[in-house]
Amino acid sequence: MSVPLTLLGLLQREPSHGYDLKRDYDAYFGRGKPLPFGQVYSTLSRLTRDGKVMISEVGPGEGPDRKRYIITDLGATEIDQWLTQPVEPEPHLQTVLFAKVVLALMLDRPAAEYLDTQRGEHLKRMRELTEIRRNGNLVDALLADHGIYHLEADLRWIETTSARLDVLKRTVQS
């Protein structure tokens, strides 16, 4: 997740204070990992320095003055370009799970047991996401679906790899 670009997008929607940006970021994009206030303000500072946002007004607050940020033409151009660029297709070809299986086979360890344990963790996470999908709002449901579909693909890989462990073992030990 690109925090600066996401904040630019939120600012293109409407001018906002840092507190409001954090609240909206956390509500839509920060599931399980809220954005720290310090990161919001340091990012806004860099975006201001780079001419992508500017302060439209300053008002008194409970602590420091409250600054209202607006996006500049440069920032709007950047967000428009970012939105039209496709995301790099995943997954990456070198995953931690793959490395663990190959190393386990190289070291003559029980790779099948590792895969079984991982399968159990994937299924547990799928149950959690299914519950979120059932009880959450539309945003939660769509995010849960995304996670579930990725876990399903991982489970297919685990099954395929489990069926090929003997051949893979001969390959990596030779």
**To 10 degrees, what angle do helices 73-84 and 3-13 make?**
110
Residue 91: pLDDT above 80?
Answer: no
| Predicted structure pTM score | 0.69
Q: Enter the tokens of residue 160.
A: 């395929």
Average pLDDT over residues 56-78: 83
Which pLDDT score is estimated for 64?
64
Band of residue 86 on the pLDDT scale cut at 50, 70, 90:
confident
pLDDT at 92 over 80: no
**Helix, strand and coil percent figures for the chain, each rounded to 5:** 70, 10, 25
- The whole-number pLDDT of residue 87 equals 72
Q: Which pLDDT tens digit goes with each residue over 93-103?
A: 557 788 889 88
The distance of Cα 52 from the centroid of its chain, to the nearest Å, equals 23
pLDDT > 80? residue 69? yes
**Alpha carbon of 121 to those of 12, 31, 63, 118, 140: distances in Å?**
40, 20, 45, 5, 21
- Identify the weakest region by mean pLDDT among 1-5, 87-91, 124-128: 87-91
Residue 90 is predicted with a pLDDT of: 66
Q: What percent of the chain has pLDDT over 70?
A: 91
Tell me what pLDDT residue 58 has: 75
Query: Across the chain, what does the average pLDDT equal?
Result: 89
Identity of the highest mean pLDDT range in 28-32, 87-91, 166-170: 166-170
